[in-house]
Amino acid sequence: MKYIVLDMEWNQAHSSRCVDSLPMPLSGEIIQIGAVKIGEDGAVEDTLRLNIKPCYYTKLHSGVRKLTGITAEDLANGLLFPDAAHDLKKWCGEEFTLFIWGFDDIAVLGENMAIWNLDFSWIPPCYNLQFIYCAQTGSEKRQWTLTYAAEVLGITLDIPAHDALNDALYTAALLQKMDIKRGMAEYDPADLLTLDEQFKVVDHIVLSGFATKQEAQASRKVRTIPCPICGERMKYDGFYRQNKSKRVSLPACSLHGDYFCRIQFLKCENGSYRVLRTLYEADEKAKKYYTEKRDAALAAEEKAKASAKAAARTSVHRRHKKVKESKQA
Ligand SMILES: [Zn+2]
What is the 203 CA–ligand 1 centroid distance (Å)?
Answer: 13
What pTM was estimated for this model as a whole?
0.77
Domain locations in the chain as residue ranges: 2-191, 199-329
The upper half-sphere exposure of residue 309, i.e. CA atoms within 13 Å in the direction of its Cβ, equals 6
pLDDT tens digits, 252-286? 999 999 999 999 998 877 888 989 999 999 999 99
Pick the CATH number of 2-191 from 3.30.70.20, 3.30.420.10, 3.40.80.10, 3.40.50.11540: 3.30.420.10
Q: How many residues does the chain have?
A: 329
pLDDT of residue 329: 60
The alpha carbon torsion through 194, 195, 199, 201 (nearest 10 deg) reads 140
What pairs with residue 210 in β-bridges?
Answer: 273
For residue 5, pLDDT over 70 is answered with yes
pLDDT tens digits, 277-300? 999 999 999 999 999 999 999 999
Distance, in Å, from the CA atom of 274 to the CA atom of 219, rounded to the nearest integer, reads: 11
What is the 233 CA–ligand 1 centroid distance (Å)?
Answer: 8
pLDDT of residue 328: 67
Distance, in Å, from the CA atom of 255 to the CA atom of 257, rounded to the nearest integer, reads: 6
What is the 208 CA–ligand 1 centroid distance (Å)?
Answer: 25
For residue 186, pLDDT over 70 is answered with yes
pLDDT of residue 47: 97
What is the 182 CA–ligand 1 centroid distance (Å)?
Answer: 53
What three-state secondary structure class fits 27? Answer: coil
What is the 37 CA–ligand 1 centroid distance (Å)?
Answer: 50
What is the 23 CA–ligand 1 centroid distance (Å)?
Answer: 20
pLDDT of residue 101: 94
Say if residues 153 and 177 touch (Cβ distance below 8 Å).
yes
